[in-house]
Amino acid sequence: MSFVSRSFRKSLLLLLDGLLFPTLTASAAGLDDGWEKVRHDGHNYVTVGSIRKFYNFHSMKVNGSFLELENKTVKIKFTIGGQEVFMNHVKFVFSFKVIPHQGRYLVSRIDLSKLVDPVLRPFYNIQTSTPFDTVIIDPGHGGNDPGAVNRYGKEATYNLAVARILKQQLEARRFKVIMTRNSDHTLSLAERVIYANRFQNAIFISIHFNSGGRGRAQGIETFTLSPAGVAHYGRGLHQNDFQLRNGNTQDSANIALATAVHSTCLLKTGRPDRGIRRARFSVLTGVRHPAILLEGGFMSHSYEARLIANVTYQRTIASAITDAVMKYRLATMRRPQR
């Protein structure tokens, strides 16, 4: 779309090619060897210096409140003392802050192994004996539960509208498509999970539109399940956050799928980037397949409300997801160039 600036578009294209298809010469070794490990405040960290070395970033520098790593195809900007991390300009929200500590910078082991590495090297992280051939689409809400409501309509209606377009597009690319609902009826979260888990070789995409922020919040957010030991975003850590859930068997695939869908939606819609976040929504917790939950804009924002009600925007979101599904499949099948 014309309102996406050229440099922004270029950096997003780089993200897809750079992140999911890296030309990094990272060693094929596991993440166990040669790291500078630091124990700090009850958590395990590695230094950004050793991340640089492992993935062969040619430069590392502090730029204002950011610490930047860069090579030909990938640029990572860590917020010093914060959780927001930009990889080729796409925002990820880390589970733990990046900490300056005794002249070094620390990144949690969880963020390294559950986010940075699967995004930079999906092939090494996502083991599939058979590539997926099924996409389960979950249009959020329905029936007694309209989801967010604005002057134009109900979220449940728009979720289903996008899902139906997406179904057609994916079927045209020979995917088997399953819908958790294909009419305006009530369906509990548990029912969605049980139904989705009946299928094999599948990925799961839940479609929603957002609301909140007193009319000011806008943009696209993508959620994936919090790894064990990581809270639901914006909430403190609970005892049961340490339990492994069904969805945690797919931790690497979850973040790679989220990266593909989130960045393609930003690219195609030009909407603001609210980041890839960690959550413990029940569909993400319970589904055994790689799973994400997309919030494709705000029902409560005056401009986005009009967009969401418009079939052109619904098609744009659907085709972004379709492209992302293709990219993701390729990324999990192709060994990176060296």
Cα–Cα distance measured from residue 54 to residue 10, given in angstroms and rounded to the nearest whole number: 26
Task: Give the span between the Cα atoms of 154 and 30, in whole angstroms.
Answer: 47
Q: Nearer to Zn ion by C-beta: 300 or 332?
A: 300
Q: Which is nearer to Zn ion, 34 or 212 (CB)?
A: 212
Give me the residue whose beta carbon is nearest to Zn ion: 208
Contacts of 314 (CB under 8 A, 6+ apart): 158, 161, 162, 165, 308
Residue 137, CA distances (Å) to 13, 144, 191, 293, 324 in order? 25, 20, 14, 10, 14
Provide the minimum distance between the beta carbon of 259 and Zn ion in the complex, in angstroms, as a whole number.
Answer: 21
CA distance 123 to 299: 37
Q: Applying CB under 5 A, does 147 fall inside the site for Zn ion? A: yes
Q: How many residues bind Zn ion, per CB under 5 A?
A: 3
* Residue 147 or 247 with smaller CB distance to Zn ion: 147
Residue number, 88 or 300, with CB nearest to Zn ion: 300
Closest Cα to residue 298, out of 198, 148, 170?
Answer: 148
- For residue 252, what is the DSSP state? H
Q: Which of 269, 315, 312, 309 is nearest to 150 (CA)?
A: 309
Q: Give the CA count within 13 Å in the CB-facing half-sphere of 328.
A: 33
Binding mask 125-144 for Zn ion (x = CB under 5 A): ---------------x----
CB of 153 to Zn ion, least distance (A): 13
Q: What is the spatial distance between Cα 57 and Cα 73, in angstroms, rounded to a whole number?
A: 10
Pick 75 or 262: Cβ nearer Zn ion: 262
Cβ proximity to Zn ion: between 94 and 204 the closer is 204
Work out how close the CB of 193 gets to Zn ion at its nearest, in angstroms, rounded to a whole number.
Answer: 16
Q: Where in 208-247 is the site for Zn ion (CB under 5 A)?
A: 208
Q: How far is the CB of 170 from Zn ion (least distance, A)?
A: 21
Piece in contact with Zn ion (CB under 5 A), picked from 67-75, 147-155, 250-258, 261-269 = 147-155
Positions in 181-210 near Zn ion (CB under 5 A) = 208
What is the nearest approach in angstroms of Zn ion to the Cβ of residue 162? 12
Report the SS3 class of residue 191: helix
Interface with Zn ion by CB under 5 A: which residues? 140, 147, 208
